[in-house]
Structure 1
Amino acid sequence: MHSFFFSHSPEIWQRHPELVPGVLLAQGIHGNASVQAQVAHYHGVARARLETVGSEADLPEIQAWRRTFARMGLKPTQYRCASESLLRRFRKEGALPPIHPLVDLCNALSLAFAIPIAVFDLSQVAEGLQVRCAEGTESYLAFSGETETPDRGEVVFADAAGCAHARRWTHRQSARSAVRDETSRVLIVVEALHADAANDVQQLLDAMSRALAETWAPPAACALLRKDAPRLAF
């Protein structure tokens, strides 16, 4: 079995000391599982939260990411973190289309907690992933099939082969490592920056661990990362 790692670069920690990342390794994933009850529960949680605010942009979790995107020079209404995009669509349409049981579950949890969740098929990742500033040479495969080159300095999830598996940090993942029917081993990354992030990310990891155990298998690894312990190897 290959070894993998996940980390944030020292530069990311220096620029964003409020960052709280959580990471899970899940194995034995398959597409024949039923997550309808879990998804319905977390959709209900999200719906109740949205009823207490004017829009998803008023949630502290989303506000923190908007401030971060603005500091990175990105217009928050043009480039949204993944959880804001999901909440926006959910608020307008009342539901999300099913994709894959694991993706549906992660999307539902992301809605409920208003925190971005990324899921990477590890069979498509070379050696590991680091959240870092792009060198301007990385290759990003869009869902349109086009290959893009992230801007130098842009925050990406990069592997050892120079592939960018996400662009603009939590804005958009790559098609290269998206969950497929044949996916069996994934890395799930949760990132938050708001005041209660440490507590909320831990609660989200706990909820994700329970859901994985009920549906597939308990996570093979799970950790909250810190600036002084920024790396998970497995």
Structure 2
Amino acid sequence: MSTFRHSDALWADFPQLVPGVLHVERPDARRDLTEYLETAERRLDGTTETQLPEIQAWRRAYTQLGLKPTQYRCASEALLRRFRKDHVLPRIHPVIDLCNAVSMAYAIPVAVLDLARITGDLEVRYATGDEEYQTFGGALEHPQPGEVIFADEAGRAHARRWTNRQSGLSAVSEATETVLIVAEALHESAAEDVKSLVSTLQTELGQPRAAILDRASPEFTI
């Protein structure tokens, strides 16, 4: 048994954070994603992703962390930016495709992790700089001290710059049997929107166990 949580220091610096978490066994999601893509299209009609309140909140957070929002974008902003230009969702894996489509519809970043590649507890926290991050190309990097990462007990970083980029080490593949899905938001209506997003994913994925975390109850048991 292991846990997922955000560190006390992160809650102190970002008290407006609303995380939603799902634990999915034998993930399968082979449904039509048109509804979510059409929602994303409507939200982008006559505007850009940078004007959406969900994205603006993450841009403010990145500025607070000392990162340039135009250089490092949260995952949902990067997805919407590409979608606005190409009007296509790249297909990777059924569960990833679903989560990417839902992420764009809500403009909220959603991480999808293969639990078999995570050692022990997983905590979103500030990096010490000693942790190891594996890129999708297989290269190894060390996060900058103070950078927000998803860190396991083996000192591996499964995401860098918070919601900017996941690790290739815990990327979901056809062999994946158990998935941890994490959605995080910081905007004014985050509590309502994350609850709706998690409910949407539960419906699509066969009602897996899920929770909305907060500062008083920050831990999800896997």
Once the two structures are superposed, what CA deviation does each residue of 1:34-75 show, in whole Å capped at 9, x if it has no partner? 22x1x1110011001111x42000000000000000000000
Determine the C-alpha separation between the residues in 1 that align with 2:22 and 2:151. 18
Q: Given the two structures, how large is their TM-score scaled by the length of structure 1? A: 0.93
Match of 1:5 among 3, 6, 16: 3
Q: Match of 1:49?
A: 43
The two structures, once aligned, show a CA RMSD in angstroms of 0.8
Q: Unmatched 5+ residue regions in structure 2?
A: none
Q: CA deviation at 1:96?
A: 1.6
2:82 aligned to which of 57, 65, 89: 89
Secondary structure, counterpart of 2:154 in structure 1: coil
Quote the sequence identity (%).
Answer: 52
Specify the code of the residue in structure 2 equivalent to 1:49.
R
Structure 1 residue 203 corresponds to structure 2 residue 199: no
Report how many residues are paired.
222
Runs (4+) off by over 6 Å: none
CA distance in 2, matches of 1:14, 1:137: 23
Aligned to 2:159: 166
Find the partner of 1:181 among 174, 179, 191.
174
Query: TM-score scaled to structure 2, two decimals?
Result: 0.98
State the distance in 2 between where 1:101 and 1:128 align.
Answer: 26
Q: Does 1:34 align with 2:22?
A: no
Local SS of the residue matching 1:137: coil
| Unaligned residue ranges in structure 1 (runs of 5+) | none
Q: Matched residue of 1:158: which SS?
A: strand
C-alpha separation in 2, matches of 1:181 and 1:4: 23
Give the partner amino acid of 1:183: T
Q: Provide the residue aligned with 1:229 in structure 2.
A: 217
| Alignment partner of 1:112 out of 105, 109, 125 | 105
Of 151, 157, 161, which aligns to 2:150? 157
SS of structure 2 residue aligned to 1:67: helix
1:212 aligned partner, one-letter code? L
